Amino acid sequence: MKFKEITLLIAILIIIEIKAQTYPLYNTPENVFFVDGAYYKDLNNDLNKYEGKWRLNINSTSFIEIEFKKIIQYNDLILNKKYDVLIGECKYVLDNVEILNTITNINNIYTNHYFVANGIVDSVRGIWNFDCPNCLTDEKFIIGGLEDTERSELPSKLVMRHFLESGIEKIKIMFHVYGSVMEDYPFDDFRLPSGQYVLTKIN
């Protein structure tokens, strides 16, 4: 076999191997979600519409602002996998007092981001069995979790959907923080309280 033919064969095998290790981020079957070295890809760019800055004005002295950014092939060094993920940071001001502000962390790739969305499901088949707030049949929505670095012992879950209201882009976020398994842990919620929030895109 000639050198060029050998080189072409090797290239084809590499491409096949790469394709074989790529799985959809959307409705990923449980039996392939933990493949060593796999890449879980946002094949339809469903995460893209969440990128940008979003804001909820609670009243004249209180607001929530969230910024989301999509990361391609986020490298999970511990689990030896790659994901397309949506990371987010938050600013929360209550009665003119800044309770939380992690916005400057949005460009830090390897850090504990406040929001991490690493799954896409629909209202019919959600492998984590999360309820989507007001989702339509077969509507895709985002799942993930949160981490408040000052309340690191509190586990959480996140559900988020994108929608248009009178032509204006909005997102509805529902998240729940579970109590700590540690005895006498001083906190039972994150600095941004659990609940449902509707934010409007501002940038």
5, containing H or E segment: helix 3-20
What Rg, from alpha-carbon coordinates, does the chain have?
A: 20
Contact 76, 99 (CB under 8 A): no
Total-model pTM = 0.81
Q: In this structure, what DSSP letter does residue 26 have?
A: B
The answer, yes or no, to whether residue 152 has pLDDT greater than 90, is no
Q: How confident is the model at residue 142 (pLDDT cuts 50, 70, 90)?
A: confident
And the tokens for 1? 């076999």
Looking at per-residue pLDDT, the higher value among 121 and 11 belongs to: 121
- Cα 177 to Cα 158: distance, rounded to the nearest angstrom: 9
Contact 161, 141 (CB under 8 A): yes
The answer, yes or no, to whether residue 3 has pLDDT greater than 70, is no
Give the mean pLDDT of 1-5. 55
Give the mean pLDDT of 141-160. 87
pLDDT value at residue 97: 98
Among 74-83, 118-127, 140-149, the range scoring the smallest mean pLDDT is 118-127
Q: What is the pLDDT of residues 84-124, one digit of tens each?
A: 999 999 999 999 999 999 999 999 877 789 998 888 877 65
